[in-house]
Structure 1
Amino acid sequence: MQRFGTLSFGHYGPLGGGRELTAGDSICQAIDLAQGMDDLGVNGTYFRVHHFARQQASPMPLLSAIAATTKNIEVGTGVIDMRYENPLHLAEEAAAVDLISDG
């Protein structure tokens, strides 16, 4: 195997014992996991767009946070359904992630 990465589906919800994982918990855990994966040498982490869901509805801010706090891991998106996107806005957000990650 030459490359290894993850695709997160951003699940959250009941954890048992009455505790529920919030959208904020999900995002913070994704950042923490990406930092750990970067330390382990994982090549990439990718996130799907979950419009109309409470967790990770827009991956670009999350990808920016991961890019700003890791050194080597590649970040990206899974599928982006362009029916729900403004192409110019999406391109601007992706360009900002690219600048933050230094390519």
Structure 2
Amino acid sequence: MRAFGFLSFGHYGSGPADNGFGAKTSLHSALDLAVGADELGVNGAYFRVHHFAKQNASPMPLLSAIAARTKGIEVGTGVIDMR
């Protein structure tokens, strides 16, 4: 069996030029992406964590939400950068 997954960097904007794509939208999009990937048979969904940057910095609530809404996808963090 082959494994296929994706790594999301979790970027989002801030300020008036972000076109409404803030942290809330980023988290909802990540959840939708993982649910869709699970339906397609993707094996893994991993999310990068970068503290002190405009990226998702606390993955555990997101990973819990994904695990609650999917059936067979593995979730986890891809990179943790704590500079």
- Band of TM-score, shorter chain: 0.7 to 0.9
Evaluate the alpha carbon distance shift between residue 21 and residue 4 of structure 1 in structure 2; reply closer, same or farther with a 3 A threshold: same
* Cα contact 1:24–1:55 (8 A) shared by 2: no
Aligned pairs for 1:1-103 within 5 A: 2-13=2-13, 19-81=19-81
Tell me the TM-score normalised to structure 2 length. Answer: 0.83
Q: Aligned AA for 2:36? A: G
More helix by share: 1
Q: How many residues end up aligned between the 2 structures?
A: 81
- State how far apart, in whole Å, the 1-side matches of 2:35 and 2:18 are: 28
Runs of 4+ off more than 4 Å = none
Greater RCO, 1 or 2 (C-alpha within 8 Å, sep 6+): 2
Which ranges of structure 2 fall in alignment gaps of 5 or more residues?
none
Which ranges of structure 1 fall in alignment gaps of 5 or more residues?
85-103
Task: Specify the structure having the higher radius of gyration (Cα).
Answer: 1
Tell me the TM-score normalised to structure 1 length. Answer: 0.69
- State how far apart, in whole Å, the 2-side matches of 1:34 and 1:66 are: 7
More strand by share: 2
Q: What are the Cα deviations for residues 42-82 of structure 1, in whole angstroms up to 9, with x where unaligned?
A: 0000011121234411111111110111000000111224x
